[in-house]
Amino acid sequence: MGDVRDELGAAETLESRGTRVDRSPSASTSTKKFLRVNNLHVSFPTDDGVVKAVDGLTFDLEKGQTLGIVGESGSGKSVTSLAVMGLHRGTRAKTSGEIWLDDEDLLKVSDEELRSLRGRKMAMIFQDPLSALHPYYTIGSQLIEAIQVHERISKSSARTRVVDMLGRVGIPNPRRRYEQYPHEFSGGMRQRAMIAMALINNPELLIADEPTTALDVTVQAQILDLMRNLQAEFGSAIIMITHDLGVVAEIADDVLVMYGGRCVEYAEVDDLFHQPDHPYTWGLLSSMPRLDRLRQDRLVPVAGNPPSLINVPPGCAFHPRCAFKEFSPRPCNVDDPALLESYPKHDSRCHIPVPMRAELFAERVAPKL
Amino acid sequence: MSLLTVTDLKKHFPTYNQKILRTQGAPVKAVDGLSLTLDAGETLGLVGESGCGKSTAGRTILKLLEPTAGTIEFEGRDVTHAQGEELRHLRRELQMVFQDPYGSLNPRHPIGQIIAAPFEIQRVTPPGGVKKEVQALMERVGLNPEHYNRYPHEFSGGQRQRIGVARAIALKPKLIVCDEPVSALDVSIQAQVINLLEDIQNEQNLAYVFIAHDLSVVRHISDRVLVMYLGKMMELADRNSLYERPMHPYTQALMSAVPVPEPRRDRVRILLHGDLPSPQNPPSGCVFRTRCPLATERCAAEVPQPVELEPGHVVACHYPKVREVV
């Protein structure tokens, strides 16, 4: 695990994570995590310059666990998920690093192998189910296709499986729904159909890219509940990509906060919310209005706008918007902070010394949350 | 006297039968008997799931849509059927901020022209001239006045929403309907726009009808909150009383579904099953009964009337009961 070296300090992180005690019981028998992403880079050459969408990302994920990836638009979270699915192949994107799923490096396998993995061993739920489903085919035939790509199976037994799966994701009257087209489904039902399609081959890795963003809260609660139950049943590993810290708190075991194509904070969910350790994470928490309590003060927004990924600010990408850079002992606009372990199993990327950060959070941020 | 009084407002959209042309089907009852009042300087939050009629309600109040029935009174005047010149004058007082910061700005007009449009349409020349006033407005909403001649595509989503706000406050209106003004924005930018709306409200004693599906944002910004479901009011109360003591089972379910950024917190979770019924064919009696955990036969038979159970706390339910959910 410690053979990856890069200037960003990912290696240190990896080593420190090697000793990590996992919460799942199966981890004691195998030391290797199910999914291991090492130093992933994805960039897109454009006329205006190179867009560094993902810049040295490292994380891992065990079966039965959920990793939440949080960030604003343009932080690189969706590009990361597409890279894991191998959906940048054949585009102009340049991808480097390693993505190990079990014993295969997904960036090295042939297109054919990748096709056989996709939809079977790993599957994805997209944000917008209306554009991810084919409008000309019935829901049933699209789900059958998802099975038949990977298995030789008669249409009638495939049909039985599809109807069963539609029922399991909470679609009422699945036999009738099977014959219907996507436009006949409501938003929530479409998202369920997408989830059914993703789960039909019982994938071990499920990537959900903002699966509930377009949905109402009541439907969102149903879908999150469904994903939790299905995970308990199938033991899949889930990557949940979202901009909503509430969703993360509810569903994730580990959280990775992205900013400008990089990980700025990586921690277990309890630690992230109780001792957030990066000024950007503080910014996200203090700019959110909360349902459960009333803030007397005004919201504290993060000043400015997210960075352009073509011209990422030098040094720490967050420094132009950081309200705490005066506390840094080093020039944030010059020196690039490394992703270092602040606490056990809790990494963040900031020059401010860890004790001072804890103090700043306790004194200046937490009282306003 | 309230600034705005809406009484039993209805907006029904006609539908046409697909099989036999030119015969009318059942109308879509987007807003079906909504009553509310709003004072100067006050913010009324309007919440509900998509399809509940909250946007239609906002647009009908502004007379962007012609009401089917009911009355709208603005500053004591009945403006329900205002038209032509009267309506144009009314628009000086009533403005709107739209949800989509991309779709609500003309891509072919520089933003100076966009923000100046209200002056042009109302044939008003502000003291000091239009350009000076527009630049002052830009400065007020946090845009660089030198960007007067830039086009909408040169701005980020948050900045475009600021342009929309500048245009809405240009004529110093008394009421602005904000239709999901921050839901298309990133969290960090959302807070900037919310703070801006609050500051402008305090400066100009503006009233807002704030339409949103995000209950956390609504809690932050509203003085009173109205919960809608399928075109009807379910509950109306001042902010604290609604969030601390919701009485309608729908409000409770809605609130319990919102994820809170605090892991492993034990909360009541009331899961609603199924989807919103069609507003073309709403359930009999209480429209919420098909998804309500408390529904009985009485709910199918009798439409619950809004009742003021506590001062200022109005609930339309046969079995209202306070339940803490957040």
Predicted confidence at residue A258, as pLDDT, reads 96
Digit-coded pLDDT (tens) for A37-67: 999 999 999 998 999 999 999 999 999 999 9
pLDDT band, very low/low/confident/very high, at A209 (cuts 50, 70, 90): very high
Same domain, B151 and B177: no
Same domain, B55 and B31: yes
Digit-coded pLDDT (tens) for A141-184: 999 999 999 999 999 999 999 999 998 888 888 999 999 999 99
- Has residue A121 got a pLDDT over 90? yes
Chain B interface residues (partner A, CB cutoff 8 A): 49-50, 156, 158-159, 186-192, 194-195, 198, 213, 215-217, 219-221, 239-240, 243, 253-264, 269, 271-276, 326
- Cβ <8 Å between A290 and B189: no
Q: Lowest mean pLDDT of A52-66, A293-307, B60-74, B77-91, name the range.
A: A293-307
Same domain, B152 and B237: no
* Residue at B187 is within a domain: yes
* Residue at A129 is within a domain: no
Predicted confidence at residue A21, as pLDDT, reads 38
More confident residue, A11 or B217: B217
Separation in Å, CA of B229 to nearest CA in chain A = 12
* Residue at A317 is within a domain: yes
* Residue at B325 is within a domain: no
Mean pLDDT of A78-96: 92
- Identify the H or E element spanning B231: none
Full residue range of the structural domain in which residue B121 is found = 109-164
Last residue of a domain, one of B146, B164, B182: B164
Distance CA A303, CA B192 (A): 8
Q: Are strands A346-348 and A340-343 parallel, antiparallel or unpaired?
A: antiparallel
Mean pLDDT of A312-337: 94
Same domain, B179 and B255: yes
- Cβ <8 Å between B259 and A283: no
Full residue range of the structural domain in which residue A298 is found = 271-368
The structural domain count of chain A equals 1
Same domain, B63 and B116: no
* Residue at B103 is within a domain: no
Show residues of chain A in contact with B262, CB under 8 Å: 249, 273, 292
Show residues of chain B in contact with A301, CB under 8 Å: 188-192, 195
* Residue at A308 is within a domain: yes
* Residue at A36 is within a domain: no
- Has residue A199 got a pLDDT over 50? yes
Mean pLDDT of A31-39: 90
**If you write DSSP's letter for every residue of B251-301 in order, what string do you get?**
HHHHHHHS--SSTT------PPPS-PPPTTSPPSSSTTGGG-TT--HHHHH
Same domain, B120 and B9: no
Digit-coded pLDDT (tens) for B258-299: 998 988 777 888 888 777 888 888 999 999 999 999 999 999
* Residue at B98 is within a domain: no
Question: Residues with Cβ < 8 Å from A210, sequence gap 6 or more?
Answer: A78, A127, A241, A242, A243
Same domain, B120 and B243: no
* Residue at B102 is within a domain: no
* Residue at A283 is within a domain: yes
- Has residue A128 got a pLDDT over 90? no
Comparing C-alpha atoms, which of B282, B309, B313, B318 is closest to residue B51?
B282
* Residue at B104 is within a domain: no
- Identify the H or E element spanning B38: strand B28-38
Same domain, B133 and B241: no
pLDDT band, very low/low/confident/very high, at A20 (cuts 50, 70, 90): very low
ipTM attached to this prediction: 0.87
* Residue at B277 is within a domain: yes
Predicted confidence at residue B173, as pLDDT, reads 97
Distance CA B101, CA B161 (A): 5
Chosen from B161, B185, B186, B264 to mutate, greatest number of chain A CBs within 10 A = B186
Of A72, A186, A290, which is closest to B186 when you measure between CB atoms? A72
Q: Report residue A17 as tokens.
A: 């994570």
Same domain, B282 and B136: no
Distance CA B73, CA B175 (A): 13
Chosen from A65, A184, A218 to mutate, greatest number of chain B CBs within 10 A = A218
- Has residue A361 got a pLDDT over 60? yes
* Residue at A342 is within a domain: yes
- pLDDT above 70 coverage of chain A, percent: 91
- Cβ <8 Å between B219 and A289: yes
Q: What is the residue whose two structure tokens read 């030789």?
A: A152
Predicted confidence at residue A31, as pLDDT, reads 64
Digit-coded pLDDT (tens) for B192-201: 999 999 999 9
Of B191, B259, B326, which is closest to A299 when you measure between CB atoms? B191
pLDDT band, very low/low/confident/very high, at A14 (cuts 50, 70, 90): very low
The structural domain count of chain B equals 2
More confident residue, A30 or A52: A52
Same domain, B302 and B155: no
Distance CA A263, CA A41 (A): 12
- Has residue A16 got a pLDDT over 60? no
Predicted confidence at residue A213, as pLDDT, reads 82
Count Cβ–Cβ pairs < 8 Å, chain A vs chain B. Answer: 129
Predicted confidence at residue B21, as pLDDT, reads 67
Predicted confidence at residue A222, as pLDDT, reads 85
Show residues of chain B in contact with A242, CB under 8 Å: none
Of A172, A222, A286, which is closest to B271 when you measure between CB atoms? A222
Same domain, B133 and B255: no
Predicted confidence at residue A169, as pLDDT, reads 86
* Residue at A279 is within a domain: yes
Show residues of chain B in contact with A306, CB under 8 Å: 186, 188
* Residue at B191 is within a domain: yes
* Residue at A351 is within a domain: yes
- Cβ <8 Å between B261 and A187: no
Same domain, B247 and B273: yes
